[in-house]
Structure 1
């Protein structure tokens, strides 16, 4: 689904119950989006309930305004759900990336500890020979030209 580029009041700019407005792009977390979606669903149910129970009013334009509000609320739901989905995927990706970075840094720390211990046990000459041998076996990994001390 493609979100329209120009804001449409009541659809891509959502009217909240407190009278404020928020654009879909301003929703920064999936939890915030879920709260707004719950508010929209509540408003839809309230309007439908007023229609079902034949709410009487002295204002002849009430029904027209209520129908327009209902239509806008219903049209904003899929766009908001899409935004929530995008935010959830981004949040999951960020969480997964953080956990992978933690694992990666732990593995890197273990490798570094191994290299330092091997350097202490084998000495500079032997480590330089191992480095040269590794460079011969996989030259693509050593393209930066840095030596074993880097």
Structure 2
């Protein structure tokens, strides 16, 4: 692979389709960043981070979020989580940033903001689960 990676709208679309079929329509299951990036044909986020391309992870997930909004899809980015480390089973800080909320796992985040942000995330995941049920039944 080259030292610099970019992504295309088609890769964002592929990632969204993957999350629809393997997350939302599968009882609103969460999916690892690595699986989503693999579905898009991109290197795993940890490799991008190690290669100094952390911005690409953030930019890709922001594009993912905004395309879901543009397409009238539920907030599918709420189903994309880390599988290890201090953020295990939680989305990255960028998920909360794109939703204009404090990161509940941030060092300086107040307890009340931790609760508010976490509850927001839980509601978004539930919206994906509900949408997934309707999609499986052919109602969306």
- TM-score (normalised: structure 1): 0.27
The one of the two structures with greater contact order (alpha-carbon pairs below 8 A, sep at least 6) is 2
Q: Give 1 or 2: higher helix fraction.
A: 1
